[in-house]
Amino acid sequence: MMKVAVIGAGAVGQLTASFLAESGMSVSLVTRKQKQVEELTTNQLTRMNIDGTKTVQKIASTTNLTALPPQDLIVIAVKYVHLQNLYDQLASLSNEIPLLFMQNGLAHFEEARSLPQKNIAFCSVSFGAQLRNQTTVQHRGIGPCKIAIERGKQPVFLKLLQLQNPLFPVEMADNAEKMLFEKAIFNSLINPLTYVLQIKNGELVTNTRVYALLKNIYQELTIAFEDIERTISFGDVVDLCRQTAENTSSMLADRMQGRKSEIETIVGAILDKALTNGHHLPTLRTLYLQVLAIEESGEQS
């Protein structure tokens, strides 16, 4: 039986752990909070499915990554802000253990590559997940989980392709950096607008004024990055907004919970990349500054 440790018991971590366990893998959840470990031990992990049913699984949980027995794969599903505290622990593990990173943005790409592990892959997810409480995750939307191997040819990553669960589709991508960049483009289009305006994804295309803003940002991005239009059409953006119409974006969820958002690692990284090409992206930069201003004022919720 394949042993997988999922670090991070937030929405993405819990949903991923639930589907991996359902496929027959031995899954351990690693969380920062002892109270969450106790609740998971008592109540088990519950996934609220899209069709209204529940899936309940007994999953081992711990706050101590190094206390786990040797794993076949480690999935890192924490947000970027928590990655800095993990790198030393990950570097101390056997370099034979494959690592799969599930963060948004681009900032972690070079950092993760500096780790000694022989097999490192990155993952870009577009499913919808929302934490209901410390032991319950709501599956809010089906979307592919794309995996790109950056180093090594570890067969364990390919085993994830064999999950063959239509509710949790897994695909392989060729180029990790390109995959992360394209996801960051989608996030830059959706997240800042939903955060500032406090709206769900669907309103980006049903509200005419917001739609105009969305189109402005897309046009700025296609001027700054000429290849974008060939890989991501504006129709693709509209389709994603419609497919995830009832979703609360990750940045808006952060605002609602009073947490610091990933604006720097997603939008900040895109702005920096555009600036090296001489493009300022004024509409996106304005939204970026608005998000930072809201966070600084302490008025997230």
Annotated catalytic residues are 183
Shortest CA distance to 28 belongs to which of 64, 54, 55, 52?
Answer: 64
The greatest distance separating any two alpha carbons of the chain, rounded to the nearest whole angstrom, comes to: 55
**Distance (Å) of CA 43 to CA 13, 37, 126, 133, 234:** 17, 10, 28, 11, 44
Shortest CA distance to 261 belongs to which of 104, 75, 86?
Answer: 104
Q: What angle do CA 282, 287, 290 make, to 5 degrees?
A: 125
Per the CB < 8 A criterion, the answer to whether 60 and 21 are in contact is no
Q: Is 290 helix (H, G, I), strand (E, B) or coil?
A: helix
**C-alpha dihedral, 108 to 113 to 116 to 121, nearest 10°:** 90
